[in-house]
Amino acid sequence: MDIEERVTKLRDEINYHLYRYHVLDAPVISDAEYDALYRELLALEAAHPALVTPDSPTQRAGAEPLDAFAKVTHPAPILSLANAFNVEDLRAWRTRIGRLLPDPEMALAFTVEPKLDGLSIVLTYRDGLFVQGATRGNGEIGEDVTPNLRTIRSLPQRIPVSQSPSTRLGADDEVSPLPAPPAYLVVRGEVFFPLDKFEAFNLARMEAGAAAYMNPRNAASGSLRQLDSAITAARPLTLYLYDFVAWDSGDQGSGDVPDEQWARLDLLRQWGFPVSPDSRYCPDLDCVAAAYEEWAEKRNHLNYEVDGIVVKINKRPLADSLGFVGKDPRGAIAMKFPAQEKTTKLLDVVVNVGRTGILAPAAVLEPVEIGGVIVRNATLHNYDEIARKDIRIGDMVIVKRAGEVIPYIIGPVADLRDGSERVVTKPTHCPVCGETAVQPPDEVAIYCENPACPAQLVRRIEYFVSRGAMDVDNFGAKTGVLLVEAGLMHDIADIYALDRESLLALEGFKDKKVDNLLAGIAASKGQPPERLLTALGIRFVGSVVAGLLLDALGSITTLAAATPEQLQEIEGIGPETAVSVTTWFANDKNRAILEKLRAAGLNFAKAVPAADAQQPATLAGLTFVITGTLPTMSRDEAKAFIEAHGGKVTGSVSKNTDYLLAGEKAGSKLTKAQQLGVSILSEDELRALV
């Protein structure tokens, strides 16, 4: 098998497993097996960049940041729907459209679909390949968010997606062909934030000093409309498709779209699009009315937010023939659910302590039933938000519950105040350890900066050993709790002081479990310094920022001595990150933890390549940016080549850039380099420099 054939097979295999995992929620291989396939494809594409295609699974990580969104004119209007609010409104709609039918009493079948509360998007495919994605915008013109949509794992880059295990490497089974899509196809759907991911995402934002999103819809919209698609890629967005906008079978004459909406949903599924499994076919209006009542009950048990159902006449040509009222098509209607809001009394505001020490306010409520659930607590996000809304202890407040998401307070009912209400004050000390609370400049969050605070310690440990940080094998979710409660860990560095005898004394810790845990801890000592810096849990310092800092400074020791001004000179490091990093390293307790980690033998400095007499540092003092596809080198190979000769590689073009190494499809970096007068090199010219 040649390289190109192997890459194609790997790409098909990985896309199949992405479909199984993100659309069907039914994986058939382990994460480790998937990772091995992905790494093999990544390595082959890096060695043979000409084989990289836009639909490759490796292209989902995000593209270069945009300066602004381009405008997209939709091939047909992307319309909204008129609303109904109860079964009586539904029957009135049926009566109105009956006047336009050949027989007002003629039998009509319907589809009932969830009215997703996300961001409407329009996807374009040519010859089965995803080529463009846009927001709804004003219904006629939207914004081009193609790079961001590519990062969503459940969006098929090519259709039809293979849905048979026979596409797996080595399988020989025969498969009946899937229906061919039209040569030109435009479909519509909704991007949304799964509810089981939303609260954790918001908590992580607040712990990083960022403002929380008020609801999943805002989170979806804000995530998709990022100029830097790498930000979108880091967020757990997904989508459901539900309609056809335009299509053209071209010269092939294949890819006809069915006339019935229910068949269209099924066809979307066959091609590999994610479609809500909760959609329903209804043979008559009574079925629709019953479905509405059922949906009003089950809305709180779904993993996405809905604010109603969409009712469509199943025969689409008939529905389309009914025309419009204003801009609302007559052939469909949205049945809205009653708002899940109630008024209750705010009894108290308590302080919760997060992993990074954030002191987050939480509301204690007089119990109230909302959507079949008794609510006693609600989120308040931050103290600035409390002050802005003028929420006081003792107020009657409006509480909203959105699906399984923790309820939140919309605001107070000020007219019901009697004068006994108390203003909520910001905490001055940590309620657990008593450490003085700190609010950094220009941040809404307030922190306890004691790294040994018991309330933070368990969560710091969980983060330290997690896969994205030190990746300590055999360190279970409850292990940190047991170790802290047993007094064996007082800070994250104590993980490397654990011994066999102490662990065997814990309940449930037998010889094999202890040996496996200690082996995992010992192996983690070999992690590179970027992992260690990430694991420290410094605000604004994730894996990407950790890499930028250590690429520039070489070691955690050097970083610890840097000033905010020095850090801001590093490409990609802003003032908030610079202050956060230097503040963390200035803390004596944090420095003590660092010394314990150093003494444990962890890597504090990046490995220095062995000197090569054939490669003098001819590029020393020069700063390069790489863009586009180079003839023979991958970007990683070009970066290694430049650094091996003493040069420095950064991620964005600025006045400090000496050279832009540009290949094909160079994009916005080339334009910026030309504007700034930065010298532009080809791969051959780079080699000539050295």
Instruction: Report whether pLDDT(616) > 80.
Output: no
Q: What is the pLDDT of residue 246?
A: 94
Q: What is the pLDDT of residue 655?
A: 82
Instruction: Report whether pLDDT(64) > 70.
Output: no
Q: Which residues contact 686 (CB under 8 A, 6 or more apart)?
A: 638, 641, 642, 659, 661
Question: pLDDT, tens digit, for every residue of 96-153?
Answer: 999 999 899 999 999 999 999 889 999 999 999 999 999 998 888 989 999 999 999 9
Third-level CATH fold of 454-524: DNA polymerase; domain 1 (1.10.150)
Instruction: Report whether pLDDT(61) > 60.
Output: no
Question: pLDDT, tens digit, for every residue of 303-355?
Answer: 888 889 999 999 999 999 999 887 789 999 999 887 677 899 999 999 988 87
| Predicted TM-score of the model (pTM) | 0.54
- Region 546-575: mean pLDDT is 89
Pairwise CA distance, residues 190 & 192, whole Å: 6
Instruction: Report whether pLDDT(179) > 60.
Output: yes
Q: Which residue has the higher pLDDT, 249 or 513?
A: 513
What is the CATH architecture of 529-599?
Answer: Orthogonal Bundle (1.10)
Q: What is the pLDDT of residue 561?
A: 92
Question: pLDDT, tens digit, for every residue of 415-426?
Answer: 899 999 999 999
Split at pLDDT 50, 70, 90, the class of 60 is: low
Q: 623-689 domain in CATH 3.40.47.10?
A: no
Split at pLDDT 50, 70, 90, the class of 614 is: very low
Q: What is the pLDDT of residue 612?
A: 43
Instruction: Report whether pLDDT(440) > 70.
Output: yes
Question: pLDDT, tens digit, for every residue of 242-258?
Answer: 999 999 876 554 557 99
Q: What is the pLDDT of residue 278?
A: 92
- Given a contact cutoff of 8 angstroms between Cβ atoms, the answer to whether 117 and 306 are in contact is yes
- Region 539-551: mean pLDDT is 85
Q: Which of 312, 291, 296, 300 is CA-nearest to residue 243? A: 312
Weakest mean pLDDT among 23-27, 42-46, 308-312:
23-27
What is 341-423's CATH number, 1.10.760.10, 1.10.132.20, 2.40.50.140, 3.40.50.2300? Answer: 2.40.50.140
Weakest mean pLDDT among 25-34, 131-140, 151-160:
25-34
* Most confident listed range (17-26, 76-85, 489-498): 489-498
Split at pLDDT 50, 70, 90, the class of 173 is: very low
Q: What is the pLDDT of residue 25?
A: 58
SS3 38: helix
Q: Which of 208, 197, 185, 169 is CA-nearest to residue 132? A: 185
What are the residue boundaries of the structural domains of the chain, listed by start?
81-336, 341-423, 454-524, 529-599, 623-689
Q: What is the pLDDT of residue 620?
A: 83
Taking each helix axis as running N to C, give the angle between helix 195-207 and helix 216-224, from 0 to 180 degrees, rounded to the nearest 10.
70
- Region 361-387: mean pLDDT is 88
- Region 71-89: mean pLDDT is 90
Question: pLDDT, tens digit, for every residue of 229-242?
Answer: 888 888 899 999 99
Pairwise CA distance, residues 439 & 581, whole Å: 15
Q: What is the pLDDT of residue 283?
A: 97
Residue count (the chain): 690
Per-chain mean pLDDT for the chain:
85
Q: What is the pLDDT of residue 251?
A: 58
Bridging pattern class, strands 324-325 and 306-313: unpaired
Q: What angle do CA 440, 454, 409 make, to 5 degrees?
A: 60
CA-to-CA dists, residue 28 to 13, 15, 18, 161, 257, angstroms: 12, 13, 10, 16, 31
Q: What is the pLDDT of residue 428?
A: 94
Bridging pattern class, strands 306-313 and 373-379: unpaired
Domains 81-336 and 454-524 share a fold: no
Question: pLDDT, tens digit, for every residue of 452-491?
Answer: 788 888 888 989 999 889 999 999 878 988 998 899 999 9
Q: What is the pLDDT of residue 21?
A: 66
- Which positions are catalytic? 115
Instruction: Report whether pLDDT(517) > 80.
Output: yes
- Given a contact cutoff of 8 angstroms between Cβ atoms, the answer to whether 239 and 119 are in contact is no
Torsion over CA of 401, 403, 406 and 412, rounded to 10 degrees? -10
Instruction: Report whether pLDDT(525) > 90.
Output: yes
Pairwise CA distance, residues 638 & 687, whole Å: 10
Q: Which residue has the higher pLDDT, 638 or 329?
A: 329
Take residue 272 and report the two structure tokens written for it.
């590999």
- Region 571-579: mean pLDDT is 84
User: Can you say whether residue 462 is alpha, beta or left, with left for phi > 0 and alpha for psi between -120 and 50 degrees?
Assistant: alpha
Split at pLDDT 50, 70, 90, the class of 12 is: confident
Instruction: Report whether pLDDT(277) > 80.
Output: yes
Pairwise CA distance, residues 640 & 408, whole Å: 49
- Region 618-634: mean pLDDT is 82
Third-level CATH fold of 81-336: D-amino Acid Aminotransferase; Chain A, domain 1 (3.30.470)
